[in-house]
Structure 1
Amino acid sequence: MCFTGVARAQSNNAELAREYSLNNEHQKAADIYQKLFKQDKQAYFQLYVGELIALKKLNEAEAVARTMVRNYPENYEYVISLSNIYTQQGNPGKAEALYNDLIKNLPANRNAVNMLASQFYQTGNADLAIRVFKRGRELLKDDKAFAYELMALYRYRHDKVSLTEECLNFLPANPLFIGQAKNALASVYEGGPDYDMLKGALLKGLQKDPQEVVYTEMLTWVFIQQKEYDMALNQALALSRRQNNGTAQIDDLCRTLVANSAYDAAIRGYEYIIENTDKASGDYIAARINLIDTRNLKITTGRYNPADLLSLESDYNSLLATYGHNKTTAFAMQKLANLQAFKLHKLPEAKALLEEVVGMAGIDPTLLAACKIDLGDVYLLSNQPWDATLLYSQAEKDNPNTAVAQEAMLRNAKLAYYTGDLAWAKRQLDVLKAATTQLIANDALNLSLLISDNLNVDSTGKALKMYARADLLIFAEQPAKALQTLDSIEKQFPGNTLEADVLMAKARIRIQEKDFTGAVLLLKDITEKHSTDLWADDAVFMLGDIYETQLKDTNMAKTYFQKIITDYPGSLWINDARKRFRALRGDKVS
């Protein structure tokens, strides 16, 4: 009971001292900690000395620390504290002498090295912790010892050169840590020169040991970071040929290449997989599908002619003729259907393919939902709105609380808008304004405001309904008909309020046709003549995106992203604009 009472009293006093310290009443805190220190020196040393330092009573703090060093000579904590006091007294030489003595007399013992380095780190002396680990290596005669700890410290210190050297020292014996090494380096590297430094070190390492696989893998990663995609693939292919251990890594790389729009390199990678994979395996079929899908992306994201599209269609049909219509090839069937529906305008063929996929047993649920939405789109374009809304509703119901459900709900709202049921469309759009997916939320907000703004002026919505028909034609990728409809709005409804909306629709058509210069002129028209309109911030952001990704004009891209930040701080694009502006300016963006 007596011991418990003493412990409780100590605890209460310690809590009171802590509160005094937090309130900057350091003398009161020091008085309490002094009493507690006399009862338990080791437990209350740091707290007591901390208050003495706060009171600038450095001589008293020194005396207390020197006493603890004498009484506990094996405990590094007290020597380090005394050294810190010397530093604050303006005696860095004394502090350095103590540090050097600690490191010099360090025993050849891993635990001792770790303990001293840890205590240095905890007192804010990362550089000394590094010295301890390096001394530990010498004592243990092991230049690989403490590599993980040193990498963490170099990363903390943002010492790019030392971190690079340590990673390359560590990885050959620990190749499973390559992912962590990449993350560590990416967290401190700030641009091309840093990756060039790593590239040089890797090439030097490969000269010494051409068979070191981890260096080749790291070099591939460097080329990816520097957007030298062909070089990245060349490295990976050379490694694959040397190891002869399958094509899984090439497949992973190809996915990265596609994500970075490096379609030519990805196509070459998939061709390699096809050449080096058993034709009876699932990997072979997957590579065939991925090859055609990548060609699809290459063609449809650039300028193309009808012959390109027909060649793609032929490739898909040849693949399906060889491997059949089944759950393995369902993804290719979906891609072919989209090509037929939106590029070739072969709606019956697209409908038949998607209906077949939707009716398949054992299909992946995510793919099934996507195909239901796609089939709904085809029904909409085929003037079957009831069938379309049924499929959208199924996709929403089958995937509750997901981005897929929100996309399906947006499709249903747009269907109502396209078909003239503006009031119902607005009710659905108002719900979607709170969507977790920014693109959906932005689309819903813009369309809801478009409807409400125009119905306030014209309750019949006749001009808006014609605009909606043009919008549907844009969705169907029928630009000539869409432009004709848009041009008819002013003729049939002079003085309407849709001028900025028509400009935005025409800009979307120009983008669809890959006429980015034409799109820029229309978007600038919006920003200059309709700077307070619904589409103003969208137009500014789109200009930034076009200048960055299509016209490769970094300065103009920065100008427009900065305009979002300064002129439209409430825009839904603000976070993306800020991130992209900083990246273009050269800031490190996480």
Structure 2
Amino acid sequence: MYAFCYLSFMRIFFAFIFFFGIQLGFTQNIQIARSYYEQGKFEKALISFESIYKRNPTNSQAVVGLAKCYRQLNKSNDAVEILKKSQRDNPEQLIYLVELGVTYNLNKQTEKAEETFDTLVLLLQEKPNNGSYIGNALQQYNLLKPAITCYKIAMEYNPNFVYDLEIGRMYGELGDFGNMFSSYLDYMLKKPNYTGLIKRRMDEFITEDPENETNVIFRKTLLKKNQTEPDILYNELLSWLFVQEKQFRKAFLQEKAIYKKTDDGIPQLINLAYTTRKEKAYDVSEEILNFVIDNTEIESFKVNAHRAIMQIKTETSTPSNYAGINKKYLQLIELYGNGRFNMGILLDYARFLGFKQDKKNEAISFLKKLLKRKLPNIEKAETEILLADVLVLSNKFNQALIYYTKAEKRVKGDLLAQEARFKIAKASYYKGDFDWAKTQLNVLKASTTQLIANDAMQLALTIDDNTKEDDSTAIAALKLFAKGELLTFQEQHKKAITTYQQIIDNFKGNEIEDETLFNQAMLYLKMEMPEKAIVNFEKIIQFFPTSLLIDDTYFALGNLYTEQEKTMEAKNLFEKIIFDHADSIYYVDARKKYRKLRGDAIVN
């Protein structure tokens, strides 16, 4: 009995080994044939596929491989013959119809190709489980219309199949933007976590122009879908569209509609308020923030909305309005007192006293009183940093360094500590202590905060380039440059411009001349003197083409020329960023602005 079982086992074992060996050999032969094909050795590939086909004429990989080789060797009739025969012998293999349609297409036999694809679709409806496989095969040959039909059949057969994203992309390639947007919207409804990804895809087709063809199509698609199958998603996307078009009041109306439907849209309203403020649509921003104040009972939202309104008023007001702003700040401080969310308003008020009203001593006193409170470490460090800023404003550098250092030690390991260390370096730089500044900056170059690391690197380079070999002339120019930056920080813009002019007049050819021209130009822009800024930017381009600030210069000057409707000049500058400075932080914006100036209706 045992011997019989053993013999039976051995027979099965050897049969398995024999079968496995055949399969392994077959797989290797297919791989060899495909390798020849991919290398463009079509004759050798044909011989290999023929060998496989003779041994196994029902193998679909061999049949398809043969058909492809025949097409490459201009033997399309042979491809048609073998595909037709194989399809008759094995009608369930729909891939043969795909290859047959492709062959007819390549021979410009359009009617036969269309008939073949129509037959394919009809057969697929009987066997819809093959829809995604066949759709993918058609897509590989860029046969997008039948591919879309196949994917749709697959989705109807199995609701778990979601190909709307792929279908949307193919509609986009076909220029059918209505169906493209419709497919993307369907995908978002099924997969809400991918909303951000879809917005990025749609953003390629949306412009700032509300009358742009694709903007109009997208808007109509949203409105139509919202009428037939209402969903909050469509309000959200209309708001998003209006923001892209800078129609902020319309976006606000959509966000209000969302709030009324869900009673849960305050954070989105606050985000919209920050967006409008960034775009300098201050009136709309204040409207939104006042709506938040009137429609929420959550104290943190109220306080932050009040704070944002005060920041807008401070940014947009002239000194003649400062008394009214001061009064409002005091009212808010009295209203919210020592509430846990009021610290931001208290710090903003101190900043307003010191930087706007030039009441530096009052600001210092106010902040020192705040420091006597029992505050969390983060808030205490923020207060110490602001106090140090006001002390720098007053040219009290040594006292400022003490408070910056306290803040850094208080929150070691936090990003705020890195900010404090950078300010230590900057204060040392302002007072002319370049060696100590470099010591701090060398540590910050490895900062986990990219912005601080970049700022540290730039300042370190400025110091290094102008303190080489103890060149007294370069060091004198650097001290004047640091003074110009300090005056800018102190918001003494006219004095800063005069200081920079001293460098331009007296230190021509110095390493720091390009940075001086750029900083002065930015101050001219701040003081609404664009023509003077243009002169500086053009000098940088002419005399300092390899400057590290050249892409900043191209972008700033391109924006100025755009405002002045000097389209060709602006296009040339944005083009330089696109082709010569692909690693620039302005690359994406430059490309968008260039395409808009070129008059592209759609961005593909």
Deviations 1:181-213 (A, max 9, x none): 64553344466221123334545666x669765
The secondary structure found in structure 2 opposite 1:120 is helix
Of residues 102, 110, 120, the one that matches 2:120 is 102
Deviations 1:353-405 (A, max 9, x none): 66647976556x6x777655444433433412431551474489423xx6x66
Of residues 382, 390, 395, the one that matches 2:405 is 390
The question of whether the paired residues in 2 share the 8 Å contact of 1:341 and 1:378 is answered with yes
Runs of at least 5 residues in structure 2 that lack an aligned partner in the other structure: 1-16
Deviations 1:41-85 (A, max 9, x none): 134333343333333333333333223212221221122222222
1:336 aligns with 2:349: yes
Residue of structure 1 in register with 2:301 after alignment = 286
Of residues 197, 213, 219, the one that matches 1:199 is 219
The question of whether the paired residues in 2 share the 8 Å contact of 1:410 and 1:444 is answered with no
Q: CA deviation at 1:230?
A: 1.2
Of residues 458, 461, 477, the one that matches 1:448 is 461
Residue of structure 2 in register with 1:255 after alignment = 274
Q: Which moved more, 1:84-93 or 1:110-119?
A: 110-119
Of residues 454, 463, 485, the one that matches 1:471 is 485
The 2-side partners of 1:583 and 1:369 are apart by 45
Residue of structure 2 in register with 1:264 after alignment = 283
1:277 aligns with 2:296: yes
Report the CA distance shift for 1:577/1:211 in structure 2 as closer, same or farther (over 3 A): closer
Q: CA deviation at 1:120?
A: 3.0
Report the CA distance shift for 1:487/1:72 in structure 2 as closer, same or farther (over 3 A): closer
1:79 aligns with 2:91: no
Runs of at least 5 residues in structure 1 that lack an aligned partner in the other structure: none
Q: Which moved more, 1:23-32 or 1:424-433?
A: 424-433
Residue of structure 1 in register with 2:42 after alignment = 26
The question of whether the paired residues in 2 share the 8 Å contact of 1:160 and 1:189 is answered with no
Residue of structure 2 in register with 1:45 after alignment = 63
Residue of structure 2 in register with 1:129 after alignment = 147
2:402 maps to a residue whose letter is D
CA RMSD of aligned residues (A): 4.4
The question of whether the paired residues in 1 share the 8 Å contact of 2:477 and 2:507 is answered with no
Residue of structure 2 in register with 1:14 after alignment = 30
Deviations 1:336-368 (A, max 9, x none): 3333332233334544666647976556x6x77
Residue of structure 2 in register with 1:558 after alignment = 571
1:9 maps to a residue whose letter is G
Q: Which moved more, 1:498-507 or 1:380-389?
A: 498-507
Q: CA deviation at 1:87?
A: 2.8
Q: CA deviation at 1:445?
A: 3.1
The secondary structure found in structure 2 opposite 1:13 is helix
Residue of structure 2 in register with 1:315 after alignment = 328
Q: Which moved more, 1:72-81 or 1:160-169?
A: 160-169
The question of whether the paired residues in 2 share the 8 Å contact of 1:409 and 1:428 is answered with yes
The 2-side partners of 1:447 and 1:39 are apart by 73
The 1-side partners of 2:218 and 2:531 are apart by 39
Q: How does 1:129-208 map to 2 (within 5 A)?
A: 129-132=147-150, 150-166=167-183, 182-189=199-206, 192-203=212-223
Q: Which moved more, 1:433-442 or 1:384-393?
A: 433-442
Deviations 1:113-164 (A, max 9, x none): 5555444334432211234467789x99x9xx98666435424544212223
Q: How does 1:348-367 map to 2 (within 5 A)?
A: 348-351=361-364, 356=370, 361-362=375-376
Q: CA deviation at 1:473?
A: 1.8
1:507 aligns with 2:521: yes
The question of whether the paired residues in 2 share the 8 Å contact of 1:76 and 1:119 is answered with no
The 1-side partners of 2:88 and 2:269 are apart by 63
1:230 aligns with 2:249: yes
Report the CA distance shift for 1:176/1:578 in structure 2 as closer, same or farther (over 3 A): closer
Report the CA distance shift for 1:154/1:244 in structure 2 as closer, same or farther (over 3 A): same
The 2-side partners of 1:500 and 1:257 are apart by 34
Q: Which moved more, 1:309-318 or 1:576-585?
A: 576-585
The 2-side partners of 1:270 and 1:445 are apart by 37
Q: CA deviation at 1:433?
A: 6.5
Deviations 1:495-539 (A, max 9, x none): 894665554444343344444444344444555566666766644
- Aligned residues, how many? 572
Structure 2 length as normaliser, TM-score? Answer: 0.77
Q: CA deviation at 1:219?
A: 2.8
The 2-side partners of 1:570 and 1:227 are apart by 27
Q: CA deviation at 1:560?
A: 3.8
The 1-side partners of 2:40 and 2:583 are apart by 44
The 2-side partners of 1:343 and 1:118 are apart by 63
The question of whether the paired residues in 2 share the 8 Å contact of 1:429 and 1:448 is answered with no
1:36 aligns with 2:52: yes
Report the CA distance shift for 1:394/1:313 in structure 2 as closer, same or farther (over 3 A): farther
The question of whether the paired residues in 2 share the 8 Å contact of 1:503 and 1:526 is answered with yes
The 2-side partners of 1:571 and 1:249 are apart by 33
Higher RCO (CA 8 Å, separation ≥ 6 residues): 2
The 1-side partners of 2:148 and 2:550 are apart by 54
The secondary structure found in structure 2 opposite 1:107 is helix
Structure 1 length as normaliser, TM-score? Answer: 0.79
The 2-side partners of 1:373 and 1:347 are apart by 15
The 1-side partners of 2:322 and 2:23 are apart by 82
1:579 aligns with 2:591: yes
Report the CA distance shift for 1:481/1:352 in structure 2 as closer, same or farther (over 3 A): same
Q: CA deviation at 1:468?
A: 2.0
Q: CA deviation at 1:176?
A: 8.5
Q: CA deviation at 1:268?
A: 0.7
The 1-side partners of 2:191 and 2:23 are apart by 48
Report the CA distance shift for 1:371/1:13 in structure 2 as closer, same or farther (over 3 A): farther
Deviations 1:459-511 (A, max 9, x none): 683443243223212112123444565567799x7889466555444434334
